[in-house]
């Protein structure tokens, strides 16, 4: 009898622990929020942003300005506003900030959703929208780098806006940022973290999306994967949350190869999330790895895997949903 009683207590303890974890990632009331992230809409935006009309989106040049307007117009059409105090969607960055890496001033594009219960706490979802421009008569369209990430951020914003319209908006606020100047040296995120629209101390996390539309050679036979970088660097809670969300909703292979400190590529230091990590803000960098078209004119929209891009975008949406709706903000327990 004592053995049975002991076993019953253990089972009850395990059940309670399991139930708690399941509830931890069970905040979605209506899966249709993620379901509206479609490969058709992602494809439309990737093709537009990486078209010749946008001239490779080089920072400070005509194509980048056209791109910024296109992104801002998407938010306007969704009914998502700029941050309070902004009369448009642009965070202006002066020419001199770029240290001669740009021919003119440039802009981060910013849009804002106010949280319903904890509006002072903020999640930032980001992607850089600039690329390499033109070299001679060749246009570097940058479909994967980073029209894919830019389109993912727009799709995630649209899903959250649908939730708001149905009376189910996020408890914490969200700032969507499309960074300029990444290719020249992470200038857009450097400027934001030096001149934040909202206090960095209130920023609970940054989910940064940079190249998420392709399959690398390592995974060519098993394409349902995504590289995650940085999730465990500052917050063990963020890493655990990310794993649980993926297990519950999407089931991609989360590959941490490039998260290793010994990785010679040092990708952790090479995209915009790093400027948040330097300020002790937990980050995840979503990345598909490099491929033969990286930083070449051949990085074109016909080579994007739109079904995989859709799943990856849905994963990031679910992760953002959990971060913005969980009871407590993420704990920073590593330095």
Residues 230, 332 contacting (CB under 8 angstroms): no
Per-residue pLDDT reduced to its tens digit, 255-294: 999 999 999 999 999 999 999 999 999 999 999 999 999 9
User: Interior CA angle at 213 toward 113 and 236, to 5°?
Assistant: 60
pTM above 0.85, yes or no: yes
Give the domain range for residue 63: 33-325
User: Is 335 inside a domain boundary?
Assistant: no
3-state SS string for the chain: CHHHHHHHHHHHHHHHHHHHHHHHCCCCCCCHHHHCCCHHHHHHHHHHHCCHHHHHHECCCHHHHHHHHHHHHHHHHHCCECCCCCCCCEEEECHHHHCCCCCCCEEEEEEEECCCCEEEEEEEEEEECCECEEECCEEECCHHHHHHHHHHHHHHHHHHHHHHHCCCCCCEEEEEEEECCHHHHCHHHHHHHHCCCCCHHHEEEEEEECCCCCCCHHHCCCCCEEEEECCCCCCHHHHHHHHHHHHHHHCCEEECHHHCCCCCCCHHHCCCHHHHHCCCCCEEEEECCCCCCCCCCCCCHHHCCHHHHHHHHHHHHHHHHHHHHCCCCCCCCCC
Per-residue pLDDT reduced to its tens digit, 17-57: 433 333 455 455 568 899 999 999 999 999 999 999 999 99
Nearest to 314 by CA among 174, 206, 158: 158
Backbone angles phi and psi of 257, in degrees to 5: -55, -45
User: Is 26 inside a domain boundary?
Assistant: no
User: Is 24 inside a domain boundary?
Assistant: no
What CATH number is given to the structural domain containing 220? 3.40.630.10
Per-residue pLDDT reduced to its tens digit, 160-217: 999 999 999 999 999 999 999 999 999 999 999 999 999 999 999 999 999 999 999 9
User: Is 227 inside a domain boundary?
Assistant: yes
Structural domains in the chain (count): 1
User: Sign of torsion, CA 165 169 175 178?
Assistant: negative
Per-residue pLDDT reduced to its tens digit, 83-94: 999 999 999 999
Cα gap 280→259, rounded to integer Å: 17
Cα gap 102→327, rounded to integer Å: 43
User: Is 13 inside a domain boundary?
Assistant: no
User: Is 27 inside a domain boundary?
Assistant: no
Nearest to 62 by CA among 127, 143, 126, 139: 139
Q: What is the pLDDT of residue 335?
A: 74
Residue 5 has pLDDT above 60, yes or no: no
User: Is 20 inside a domain boundary?
Assistant: no
User: Is 4 inside a domain boundary?
Assistant: no
Residues whose CB is less than 8 angstroms from the CB of residue 117 and which lie 6 or more positions away in sequence, other chains included: 171, 172
Cα gap 175→251, rounded to integer Å: 27
Cα gap 11→16, rounded to integer Å: 9
């Amino acid at each position: 009898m004592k053995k049975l009683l002991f076993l019953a207590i253990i089972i009850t303890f395990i059940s309670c622990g399991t139930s708690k974890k399941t509830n931890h990632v069970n905040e979605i009331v209506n899966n249709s929020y993620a379901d509206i992230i479609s490969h058709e809409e992602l494809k439309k935006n990737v093709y537009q942003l990486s078209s010749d009309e946008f001239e490779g989106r080089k920072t400070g040049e005509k194509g980048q300005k056209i791109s910024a307007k296109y992104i801002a117009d998407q938010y306007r059409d969704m009914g998502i506003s700029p941050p309070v105090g902004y009369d448009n969607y642009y965070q202006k960055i002066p020419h001199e900030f770029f240290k001669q890496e740009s021919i003119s001033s440039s802009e981060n594009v910013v849009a804002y959703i106010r949280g319903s219960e904890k509006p002072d706490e903020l999640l930032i979802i980001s992607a850089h929208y600039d690329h390499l421009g033109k070299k001679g008569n060749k246009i570097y369209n940058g479909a994967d780098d980073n029209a894919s990430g830019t389109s993912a951020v727009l799709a995630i914003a649209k899903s959250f806006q649908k939730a708001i319209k149905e009376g189910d908006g996020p408890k914490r606020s969200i700032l969507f940022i499309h960074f300029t100047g990444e290719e020249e040296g992470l200038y857009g995120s450097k400027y934001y973290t030096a001149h934040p629209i909202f206090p960095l101390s209130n920023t609970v996390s940054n989910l940064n999306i940079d190249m998420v539309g392709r399959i690398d050679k390592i995974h060519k036979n098993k394409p349902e994967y995504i590289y995650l970088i940085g999730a465990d660097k500052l917050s063990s809670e963020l890493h655990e949350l990310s794993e649980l969300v993926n297990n519950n909703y999407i089931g991609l292979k989360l590959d941490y190869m490039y998260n290793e400190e010994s990785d010679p590529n040092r990708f952790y230091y090479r995209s915009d999330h790093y400027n948040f990590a330097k300020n002790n803000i937990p980050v995840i960098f979503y990345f598909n790895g490099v491929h033969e078209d990286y930083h070449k004119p051949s990085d074109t929209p016909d080579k994007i895997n739109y079904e995989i891009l859709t799943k990856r975008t849905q994963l990031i949406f679910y992760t953002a949903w959990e971060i913005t709706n969980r009871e407590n903000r993420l704990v920073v327990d590593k330095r």
